[in-house]
Amino acid sequence: MDAANRPLLVPPDFATYAEKNGIFDMYKRLLQQLLIHKPDDPLPFLVDLLKRDNDDVPQIVLLGPPASGKRTIAKSICNKLRTAHITAENLVAEAEVELRNEAQSYLDKGQEIPLELWRNILKERMSLFDCVKKGWVMEGFPCTREQAQVFQAIGVNPTHCVLLDAPDTVLVERASGKRVDTETGDIYHTTFDWPSSTEIQSRLEEVPGYSEEAVISKLESYHRHIDGIKRCYEKVIKVINADQPKADVFAQVFSYLTTIPRSVAPHTPRVILLGPTGSGKGVQAALLANKYNIVKVSCGQLIKQAVADESKPGLAAKTYLEKSMQVPDSIVLTILRERLAQLDCVSRGWVLHGYPLSREQAEQLDRAGFTPNRVFFLNVPNDSVVERLTLRATDHLTGERYHMLYNPPRSQEVKERLRCHPKDREESVRGRLATYYTFQEELNDYYLEAQHINADQDPHTVFENIESMIVNPLPKQYDR
């Protein structure tokens, strides 16, 4: 086949299906579990993993010094996500009898539980239904780098690690007012978090081991080990200032938990830029294409090129263009499909602007197999759009474009040569704005995960906002 005359068209279905269903991430996860567990018979082991209804469960480690609010935040996270709450204490208390008795014997002697015993206890706990199906939040554990390494060796690798941090003086002050509910184990504070119920107040007692001397001793131990633990979780850790109101701390923690770590799985950018005329879609598409070597696809330019090439859909479109009529969706989609299915678009990815203009067109694009993985609305006030477009003009001798406000001509001679395109007259601009807003709401409803960008600012600032949402996964929506 002569690629110059008839470019190779690649069906987009495989890449779209694989990305939508996480095929590459699934391969990575299965191989990772094989290397960790090294089963004697790999096939039944892999089948068992694939039978799990949900592999994408929260796996969170919450660390911090004493009195930093770990218990309060951990319980809030568990209530929000309905996950298992794991601590060093309940790991021992809920272990099977033989493991529990062995661990308790060390605790009774005032000795540390050996790493191998912790390994067996945690391995047994992580195999239970609640951890497998709902996920877990591990509070204040591991306590040392050695424990963290043992946990990693058995496959206990958190997707998120949160470290609550505060000055030691603040922590000592907090500890002195700390009280515990003897029935529920909930933590309160005489100054910052006193319960309104008199019944709960009557049950509160001082927390054992939280005298000033005891807290200082615990802080010394914490600072001795925390740097080693942080190195184990350096790719997933987030340090959050705990010296602020509890609601603010939780909001920051939960915001971090909704982020998704970058995946090394193959990813082909398929980006759609939507917005009113003059919002800078073409500029942003060019910036993305230049930096990331993806294909810039302008629907308007494609139609013009098809007409110039006198292709079959181009000749069909020409009839409508000559009569200043809108080209039917079927013809536009045919032209667009031929371009997006070419090898460069499939292999490198694409950024599309000028299409879709309505929900119907968006649905047709999806049915054709070209489902975007990022959609951006570039929002600009109408007055700014009118200012951008009506004040621009072109020098017909040099072809250079000017803007009377942002890029005025340097000489009167050039200024006198400038010509304004008929489509940039105010009535024409406002007509195109009205057309865009007619369909904007239905496009918003269709692309529910689209990101809205304030495009009424410097183009490179807009580009940085778009870029940050392309290179990083979008936040996770927890439907719990």
Tokens 């040099």 correspond to what residue?
A: 398
What separation in angstroms does the CA of 197 have from each of 201, 204, 400, 470? 6, 11, 74, 49
- Give the domain extent around 317: 270-471
48, part of any domain: no
Structural tokens at position 338: 């031929």
Both 234 and 280 in one domain: the answer is no
Contact 63, 229 (CB under 8 A): yes
13 pLDDT exceeds 80? no
What separation in angstroms does the CA of 138 have from each of 87, 188, 223, 259? 6, 20, 19, 18
Mean pLDDT in residue range 37-65: 82
Q: How far apart are CA 356 and CA 49, in angstroms?
A: 40
Mean pLDDT in residue range 240-263: 87
Both 98 and 170 in one domain: the answer is yes
Nearest to 269 by CA among 170, 199, 338, 345: 345
40, part of any domain: no
10 confidence band (pLDDT: 50, 70, 90): low
Q: From start to end of 16-76, where are the E strands? A: 59-63
Both 240 and 367 in one domain: the answer is no
Mean pLDDT in residue range 222-234: 93
10, part of any domain: no
Contacts of 465 (CB under 8 A, 6+ apart): 453, 454
Instruction: Write down which residue in 227, 257, 287 finishes a domain.
Output: 257
pTM: 0.64
Instruction: Write down which residue in 210, 236, 257 finishes a domain.
Output: 257
pLDDT of residue 119: 92
Number of separate domains in the chain: 2
Higher pLDDT, 4 or 72: 72
Where do runs of H (alpha helix) occur along 368-425? Answer: 382-390, 412-417
443 pLDDT exceeds 90? yes
Q: How far apart are CA 125 and CA 140, in angstroms?
A: 16
Q: How far apart are CA 159 and CA 77, in angstroms?
A: 14
45, part of any domain: no
Question: What is the torsion angle, in degrees rounded to the nearest 10, for the CA atoms of residue 80, residue 86, residue 90 and residue 95?
Answer: 120
366 pLDDT exceeds 60? yes
249, part of any domain: yes
The enclosing domain of 205 has a CATH number of: 3.40.50.300
**pLDDT per residue over 173-185, tens digit each?**
887 777 888 888 7
34, part of any domain: no
Both 246 and 280 in one domain: the answer is no
Both 252 and 275 in one domain: the answer is no
37, part of any domain: no
Q: Is 253 helix (H, G, I), strand (E, B) or coil?
A: helix
Both 161 and 187 in one domain: the answer is yes
14, part of any domain: no
Both 94 and 195 in one domain: the answer is yes
119-127: long-range contacts (C-beta < 8 A, 24 or more apart)?
Answer: 119/150, 119/151, 119/153, 119/154, 121/91, 121/92, 121/95, 122/91, 122/151, 122/154, 122/156, 123/154, 124/95, 124/96, 124/99, 125/86, 125/91, 125/94, 125/95, 126/154, 126/155, 126/156
7 pLDDT exceeds 70? no
Instruction: Write down which residue in 212, 228, 257 finishes a domain.
Output: 257
**pLDDT per residue over 125-175, tens digit each?**
988 888 888 899 999 999 999 999 998 888 888 989 999 999 988 888 887
The total number of residues shown for the chain amounts to: 480
Averaged pLDDT score across all residues of the chain:
86
Both 115 and 224 in one domain: the answer is yes
* CB burial of residue 54 (10 Å; 0-12, 13-18, 19+): exposed
404 pLDDT exceeds 50? yes
Both 152 and 241 in one domain: the answer is yes
Fill in the DSSP letter of residue 55: S
Both 191 and 277 in one domain: the answer is no
Both 408 and 384 in one domain: the answer is yes
Both 328 and 465 in one domain: the answer is yes
